[in-house]
Amino acid sequence: MASQYNACVDLLDRNVEGGRGDHPAVVTRQRTVTYTSLRDEVAATAAGLRRLGVGPEQRVAMVMLDSIEFYDVFLGALRIGAVPAPVNPMLPGRDIGATVAASRAAVLVVSAERAADLESIRAGAPEVATVIVTGSPEWAALQSGGGDGGDPFTTWDESPGFWLCTSGSTGRPKLAMHRHIDLRLTADTYGADVLGVRADDRCYSVGPMFHAYGLGNSLTFPFAVGATAIVEPTRPPTPALVGDIATSLRPTLLFCIPTFYAALCASDLPDGAFASLLPLIRERSTDDRNYVKKAVSWALRQIGKRSAGLNTKAIRIAGQIERMDARASRWIARDVLTELRSDAVQARLRTR
């Protein structure tokens, strides 16, 4: 028999009620919102969607970049039992319109950065009756009523939750349906059991939230434990942008695909951008979680192979880590020092 469960209540309200209301939930380069503030924004958005006539299991199409507003709409729709359907905002307007049409959504929310494509989007999605652009008077009106009317709808673990687009690698992107409970299941089986995400983590995903990978990294995994998500709307990201976010906002968990890791390593970022991360690497070197200690070792080794100056600094940090009284620290230091002091690495550095 299905159990009563609402993913918004689980991932958001539970943190407020559990005493983490003042903890940062989402951080951008312009703004920080706590769990309490985000809960209030989400409830106001949920109430606004209800006033527009959005009901349980009705779709709300989202053409949105990573932002606090994304959380407002996605969680707000879940809260009232509606079905948020994020669409890749970087697609051409005609392709976005076709996907929105397939969702049969009557309400469409669009990031202001993508408003220029509204005409072509609407041409492909004639059933859309209401369009709301973030930052517009319509957006302000959506949230103007506060949380009155934004009470959670009674859903179950098996209730329709959200739709996500497939990548389109085998043809036109398709909308895949997910249940409310699917968010919690991925948080437990991967975020907790594999990554070991903790409440003091700061999660930054280069992959965007309109894909399942980014949605987990930036919402499901951090919110499941009351951690912090760092988000940035700029698309496509560049090594310089990610380097700036890493040094200024100091994520403890960085999620991106292998090709972007390679781009970071091959970039012409100044040594200072990498050297600024060394204190954070040292700070996390006592963390015995398998994926964290491997990531610390990998990061320190890659930084130490960029230049002779960074090699010297990385070896110095590894020596400090080696003297820490922690099993993970000793493992990391041994791994790092073996490679960075090797004849092969030192020979390559002399030729640069």
Do 270-352 and 35-178 fall under one CATH topology? no
The answer, yes or no, to whether residue 172 has pLDDT greater than 90, is: no
Assigned fold of 270-352 = Leucine-rich Repeat Variant (1.25.10)
- Per-residue three-class SS string for 125-183: CCCCCEEEECCCHHHHHHHCCCCCCCCCCCCECCCEEEEEECCCCCCCCCEEEEEHHHH
Q: What is the pLDDT of residue 324?
A: 95
- The answer to whether 187 and 15 have CB atoms below 8 angstroms apart is no
- Model pTM score: 0.89
Give residue for tokens 């790092």. Answer: 336
Candidate CATH numbers 3.40.50.980, 3.30.870.10, 3.30.200.20, 3.90.1170.50; the one for domain 35-178: 3.40.50.980
d(CA 290, CA 191): 13
- Least confident segment among 39-48, 95-104, 111-120, 169-178: 169-178
| Domain boundaries along the sequence of the chain | 35-178, 270-352
d(CA 147, CA 291): 40
Q: What is the pLDDT of residue 313?
A: 96
Q: What is the pLDDT of residue 177?
A: 96
d(CA 184, CA 186): 6
The rounded mean pLDDT for the chain is 94
Q: How many residues does the chain have?
A: 352
Three-state DSSP class for residue 111: coil
The answer, yes or no, to whether residue 266 has pLDDT greater than 90, is: no
In single-letter form, the type of residue at position 197 comes to V
The answer, yes or no, to whether residue 20 has pLDDT greater than 90, is: yes
The answer, yes or no, to whether residue 1 has pLDDT greater than 70, is: no
- At 280, the pLDDT band (50, 70, 90 cuts) reads confident
292 contacts: CB under 8 Å, gap ≥ 6:
196, 253, 284, 328
pLDDT in tens, 320-347: 999 999 999 999 999 999 999 999 999 9
